[in-house]
Structure 1
Amino acid sequence: MVENAIEANRAAVEAWSLPVSEEDSAPETPPLDRIEPAEDLPEWHAEIGADDPAEISVGDKFTFTKTITDADVKSFAAASGDTNPLHLDDEFGQKTRFRGRIAHGTLVGGLISAALARVPGLVIYLSQDLEFHNPVRIDDRISAECEIVEDLGDDQYRLRTRVMNGEDIAIDGEAVILIDDAPEDAE
């Protein structure tokens, strides 16, 4: 068993370092040194419910949409160490209840954080509960939807969080965030 895990880790690292072929239909994940804070890539889509931290209120929604690529899954496996073959091995995935590879649940849930990164101010996660309902596959275009459902006071808010895969709920949950003032020299 240990040898299989070591082999899976090596395969993930090798796969992570290979470029995505030009034949892939999904957009390539850019190198990390090309991503700037508060910058969206062309294949991402975000909708923002408020532009100023002082204007945030119950009912405001924040969404983030992107396609989950093979490169995303391999990069996540390499970064997290989660080399479960369900996420990396097509043949293995075919033999499971999912009948194919699926993206890591935590990778998919990470899109909630991406949506919250668009909230004005400095968002600090205080808690997040997730329920996994449906798998997300390579090349699925998914949307994280966050809606403020309660003002808890002291700049803290409770949110309903969802990741949608078309009409299907992939993840349903709830978060509590703190919206802090961004440092003045950071703007």
Structure 2
Amino acid sequence: MTASTLTGSLLVATPLLDEPPFRRSVILLLDHDDDGALGVVVNRAADLEVDRVLPDWSTTVNEPGVLFMGGPVGTDSALAVAEVIESADPPGWRECFGRIGLIDLDVPPALLEGAIQRMRIFAGYAGWSGGQLEGEITEGAWYVVPSEPDDVFGLRPEGLWRRVLRRQNDQMAFLATYPDDPTQN
């Protein structure tokens, strides 16, 4: 496995990874190479409306219109992940893969009007130094699976862990029924 092949993939926490903040998390990898990896947890909606933190962007983000907890690193900063329309190359846009990329939140939203199809804003991110993520995958902390656009922008982020596992074509699909507390089983 080469590092560059993981950009655009999902990291799905295995049941062995039972510690906050990554327990049952689903992370979209936005960048991954020999120097490390950067991603955002896409299934942790915060109880904070975007309108209260970044009011200029409140009409640009899609439902549920809240900030998401992107990871434990840099939680005082925000990353905007967006899907742009097919032919768009708006100012402040950095492609990560396909039509998914990062939007510079310092760019006035009016300059991006008509270019953004869907967008979410994340407080913080998840990051790994070179080789660290590969080591965690080898140790069994993460499953690496293909992403779908609705994984990032879907209306029900709280059930994403189970949905992503369920759609896999191997034994991983059975883990979607893994109990929240195996000792109660």
TM normalised by structure 1 equals 0.24
Higher RCO, Cα 8 Å, sep 6+: 2
Higher normalized helix content (fraction of residues): 1
Higher normalized strand content (fraction of residues): 2
TM normalised by structure 2 equals 0.24
The structure that has the greater radius of gyration is: 1
